[in-house]
Every structure is written in C-alpha cells, then in structure tokens.
Amino acid sequence: MRLFNSLTSRVEEVVPTHPDGVVRIYGCGPTVYRQAHLGNLRTFLLTDLVRRALEFEGRTVLLITNITDVGHMTDDSSGQAVDRMQIAVEDEGLAPPEIAEKYTKAYLEDSAAIGILASHVYPRATDHVPEMIELTETLISRGHAYIADEGSVYFDVRSFPGYGKLSGNSIDELQPGHRELEVAQGKRHHADFSLWKSAGAGRLMRWDSPWGEGFPGWHVECSAMSMKYLGERFDVHTGGNDLKFPHHEDEIAQSEGATGHRVVSIWAHGGHLRLSGQKISKSTGNVVLVSDLVEQGIDPLAYRYLTFQTRYRSEMDLSLDALEAADRGLRRLRQRMAGWAGTPPPAERSDAASGLDRRFREAVADDLDMPRALVVLNEAVSSAEVPDGEKYALLASWDSVLGLDLERSAREDVELPPDVQDVVRRRDDARAAGDYATSDSMRERLTGMGYEVMDTAGGTRVRRRA
Ligand code: AMP
Ligand code: ZN
C-alpha cells in the first residue's frame, strides 16, 4: 500500500520498520474538552482507513490514538493563552477528569457510530506526565532545550537544523507573536516552544517536576506517547492538515532531537472538512455532530460513505443535500445486497469478479483512492456478468475496508420476527408445491404485516417497508 508522505511530498510504499512486520501507526486523537465534530471525525476516518486498508492487504497493525486531556492551549503564542480544558471546567462546572471522561466516552461512541475500529491503545496525556518530563530532561541534556523564567522549559528551535522540514516554515521566516511577552517569558527565539510550563495561580491541573510545579506542553505529549507505545522508529503518523505546523513540526524536533535519528517514516495528513451554506446543526450552529445526523434521520455511516467520494487530501464541503444523497445511496446498496443474499456464490470466481476485485484493491492501495474504489463498486453492482451471489460475496469482502455495514439489510431480513418467518416459510412451501393461490395469499399477509415481498432465486425475501 502506498501513501502520500507530507515530509517528502511523494507517494511511498508503507514498509514496516520493525522486523516483526507489524505496521505501527500513531494518530493524533481528540482533545477531550468538547464533542468531536464531523471535521475532526473526517481526520479520524483517515486513520481508520489507513488501518483497514493495511489489514485488507493482510498486514497486522498496531494503532495508537492519544487522548489529549491537558496542555492544549487556546493560543500558544499569546499571553492570554488558556488551557481549553480549563474553559470547559468553568463552563460546565465539572472537574477536569470528569470533563475528560465525558468527552472521551462521547468520542468513542461517535467513532463507533461512523465505523471506526477501536485503536489498540488510547493513552491519556495525564497518565504520561513522567514520560514527558523524562523526554524534556533528555532534550535539555542533549542541548535542545533550556530552562527559562521561573521553571518553564523551551525547545531551542535553532539547535535543530531540520526545523521546518515538514511544514516548509523556515525559522527566519516565522514571525514573532508578542515580542514583549516572549522576552518576558525568557525565550531565546520567538519560535521556541514550550515543553513544560510553570503553573500560574488558579491553574487546576499541575504536576511536580524538576523545574517546579507545572504542566506539559501539548506537542511533547505526542512525542512521548508515540515512542513509548511504538518505539523509536515507527511507520505512519496521521493527523489533519492543520497539525503539520506547529504540532507535528515540533514533534519531529522533539523526537529526532531526543533520539538523534528519524522516528516517523510516513506523515499522512488529511484535508479539512468545510461546511457549506446550509445549516445542518440545530443546536450547535456551525459545528455538526454525529447526534445532528441522527436527529435528521441520517445514518452516521452515510457520512463515512460520503467522505469516500472525495480524496482524503482534498478539502471537502459538507452539505445536507450531499449527506441525504449519501444516506439514500447507502440504503440502496444495502437493499441490493439483501436482494442478492439468497443466491449462493458460484463454486469458482468468475473472471469478471476477479477483475473487479483486483481493481478495487489497486484503488485502495493507491494512496487510498476511494473515489476510484467506489467507481469499481458501482460497476460491480450493475454488472451483467457477475452473478448475484458473487456480487454479494465481493461487496461483503470489500466492506472490511469500507466499513459501511453493507450486510445490514440482509441481516435484518434473516432476523425477522418468528411470525413473519413463519409466513415466509409457508409461502415458500406453497410455491415449491405449485400452490400459487396460497403463495399469493401469503404474499398479501406479508404486505399486510408491513413487508415488501421479493421473489429471488433463493426464495421469498422480505424487507420492512420504510
Ligand atoms: P482536536 O480535537 O481539536 O485536537 O482535533 C482532532 C483532529 O481533528 C486533528 O487531527 C485536527 O487536525 C482535525 N481537524 C480539526 N478540524 C478539522 C476539520 N474541519 N476537518 C478535518 N479535520 C479537522
Ligand atoms: Zn498529536
């Protein structure tokens, strides 16, 4: 499988660096002071897709998603910077661990609703402060960091020659934020960023450190936790485009500064989601949540399906029309699946099905070209050469990477209430015996019970009428 590497601006093969062959992935996770919106979730879907695509190829994956529950400031360069968690504490009247717990749970539920497979570990920043302190000490001892005013520690960007290699920002071009403040903070260069901050008065979340009471910077969290769980060299690191700078640029400086070598092989960044004119959310204004979709009667997986219609690196517009069209399209696909479900696949795969399968796999492996994969899927659906049973088998296997629960309608058909099953059985028996009068009356019974009746090669299939 190939992925576009933001660091080299090239599409590169994902090759596991560890001899065990396991592909190690770190995806920047949610900041848990509020609900994740569909934009955040688009980026988390990218990570899920990378993981599923690799597993689809038969690889074993180890995926880590961090939970940021401390240190993500509103604006790192301003004197008024406040920890986002602190704002939520004031707004909601809950303690920081309660806020973190509440939104971690919401994030996991939303992720599951859009078909994101659980990561193997969800390390929380607040559980890894000792590791962050240790990394900061290493950086000081290697001459990459220094202690400034009353117990804050900064990374010295000029000590790391590669600073800027991911984002293309050179140190000289970076504009100072608030020069007076930066001088007051004791920074040597305005681009230096904090690894550790001394805790001011009123600061709720604070830890002891060799530099006094304080709290870790945001970027150091991801260096410390990625290397703790994945080792000093790992394969793929994901995040949204906005994280390239400063978050990932700083992570590279920290991790490479501490180890003296390259740590991440491929940096994969996803394009942003934009809301177009229409208002989708009733309660939250400009932010759309999974619960907004549910409220509008849209299957959350329709959002997942919709994201596949745009290449992951491009920006994507979200509109209610597009969501509703995706919802209809997904339902139709599932109903087609249910219609094919009764027919067993042929003993040997047809050439047409093999060709489609090869093209689908190629599209996924080619830097996750999901729009192309969907073209192949549509061809399969309408193919005159592929028998129904084989179509079912093909789409069911592709669903391990699509994650759209394509077998849902077929499954619901099987899980019919016993009285409905009974009528279906009696109708099939009557038809087998050539008793068309009984067959017709059973059809009417089913219609009266609220079901749509279809005749397939496998017998009567019914589906609840929408
Ligand atoms: P946060 O919870 O704010 O730390 O963000 C979590 C992830 O969502 C990060 O990887 C961001 O890059 C990503 N992100 C934020 N806004 C958007 C957006 N509008 N579209 C896509 N990804 C986003
Ligand atoms: Zn991160």
Residue 76 has pLDDT above 60, yes or no: no
Report CA(450)–ligand 1 centroid distance (Å).
Answer: 43
Ligand 1 site, residue 273, Cβ cutoff 6 A: yes
Q: What is the pLDDT of residue 454?
A: 83
Residue 379 · residue 303 · CB < 8 Å: no
Range 72-91 burial, b when 16+ CB lie within 10 A, else e: bbeebbeeeeebbbbebbee
Distance of CA 240 to the CA centre of its chain: 10
* pLDDT tens digits for range 348-391: 999 999 999 999 999 999 999 999 999 999 999 999 999 999 99
Q: What are phi and psi of 105, to 5 degrees?
A: -60, -45
Which ranges of 318-407 would DSSP assign to H, the alpha helix? 320-340, 351-365, 370-382, 388-402
CA angle 353, 4, 28 (to 5 degrees): 105
Our answer on whether the CB atom of 42 is closer than 6 Å to any ligand 1 atom is yes
Q: What is the mean pLDDT of residues 217-237?
A: 97
Band of residue 466 on the pLDDT scale cut at 50, 70, 90: low
Cα separation of 168 and 248, whole Å? 12
Asked if residue 140 has its Cβ within 6 Å of ligand 1, the reply is no
d(CA 327, CA 318): 13
Higher pLDDT, 406 or 454: 406
The response to whether residue 43 sits with its C-beta less than 6 Å from ligand 1 reads yes
Asked whether 13 lines ligand 1 (CB < 6 A), one says: no
Cα(411) to ligand 1 centroid in Å equals 35
- If one compares 248 and 83, the residue with the highest pLDDT of the two is 248
What's the pLDDT band for 75 if we cut at 50, 70, 90? low
Ligand nearest to the CA of 238: 1
Does 40 sit in the ligand 1 pocket, CB within 6 Å?
yes
Q: How many residues are recorded in the chain? A: 466
For residue 240, the ligand closest to its alpha carbon is 1
pLDDT confidence of 284, banded at 50, 70, 90? low
Instruction: Determine the distance separating the centroid of ligand 2 and the alpha carbon of 70, expressed in angstroms.
Output: 12
CB 234, CB 15: distance < 8 Å: no
CB 226 within 8 A of CB 237: yes
Per-chain mean pLDDT for the chain: 92
Joined tokens for residue 71: 């240190």
Beta pairing class for 316-318 and 23-27: unpaired
304 CA to centre of ligand 1 in angstroms = 16
Does the Cβ of 28 fall within 6 Å of ligand 1?
Answer: yes
Domains of the chain: 2-270 (3.40.50.620), 275-411 (1.20.120), 416-464 (no CATH)
pLDDT digits (tens, 9 = 90+) for 131-144: 999 999 999 999 99
Q: How confident is the model at residue 172 (pLDDT cuts 50, 70, 90)?
A: confident
Q: Which residue has the tokens 């099939």?
A: 428
pLDDT band at 165 (very low <50, low <70, confident <90, very high): very high
The pLDDT tens digits for 292-339 are 999 999 999 999 999 999 999 999 999 999 999 999 999 999 999 998
Q: Is 39 in the pocket of ligand 1 (CB under 6 A)?
A: yes
Query: Position of tokens 């717990």?
Result: 101
pLDDT attached to residue 4: 98
* Nearest-angstrom CA–CA distance, 242 and 428: 58
Q: For ligand 1, pick from 242, 247, 249 the residue to mutate: most ligand atoms within 8 Å of CB.
A: 242
Q: What's the pLDDT tens digit per position in 404-441?
A: 999 999 888 778 888 998 999 999 999 999 999 999 99
Distance, C-alpha 279 to centroid of its chain: 24
Q: pTM value? A: 0.89
Does the beta carbon of 403 lie inside 6 Å of ligand 1?
Answer: no
Q: What's the gap in Å between 44 CA and the centre of ligand 2?
A: 12
- pLDDT of 180 above 80: no
Mean per-residue pLDDT, 38-57: 98
Alpha-carbon distance of 32 to 411, in angstroms, equals 35
Task: Name the nearest CA neighbour of 355 among 390, 310, 401.
Answer: 390
Provide φ and ψ at 275, rounded to 5°. -95, 130
CB-ligand 1 contact for 307 (6 Å cutoff): no
Q: How far is the CA of 43 from the centre of ligand 1 (A)?
A: 6
Residue 114 has pLDDT above 60, yes or no: yes
Tell whether the model's pLDDT for residue 77 goes beyond 60. no
Using the predicted structure, report yes or no on whether residue 277 has a pLDDT greater than 80. no
Nearest to 410 by CA among 422, 425, 393, 427: 393
From the alpha carbon of 40, which atom of ligand 1 is closest?
8
Residue type for 118, please? Answer: A
Task: Read off the pLDDT of each residue in 101-107 and give the average, rounded to a whole number.
Answer: 97
Q: Is the CB of 71 under 6 A from ligand 1?
A: no
User: How many angstroms separate the Cα of 212 from the Cα of each of 185, 188, 207, 401, 461?
Assistant: 16, 20, 8, 48, 70
Exposed / middle / buried, residue 433 (Cβ in 10 Å: 0-12, 13-18, 19+): exposed
SS3 of residue 23 by DSSP: strand
pLDDT category at 282 given cuts 50, 70, 90 is low
Specify the pLDDT at position 401: 98
Q: Which ligand is nearest to the CA of 28?
A: 2
Distance from Cα 165 to the centre of ligand 1, integer Å: 22
Q: Which ligand is nearest to the CA of 223?
A: 2
What's the pLDDT at 461? 81
Name the residue of 6, 40, 47, 104 whose CB sits within 8 Å of the most ligand 1 atoms, as the mutation to test its pocket.
Answer: 40
Would you call 273 helix, strand, or coil by DSSP?
strand
Given a contact cutoff of 8 angstroms between Cβ atoms, the answer to whether 347 and 396 are in contact is no
* Coil, helix or strand at residue 298: coil
Quick one: which atom of ligand 1 is closest to the CA of 243? 12
CA 437 to ligand 1 center in whole angstroms: 61
Q: Which residues is 63 bridged to in the sheet? A: 25
User: If you measure from the C-alpha of residue 30 to the centroid of ligand 2, how many angstroms do you get, rounded to a whole number?
Assistant: 9
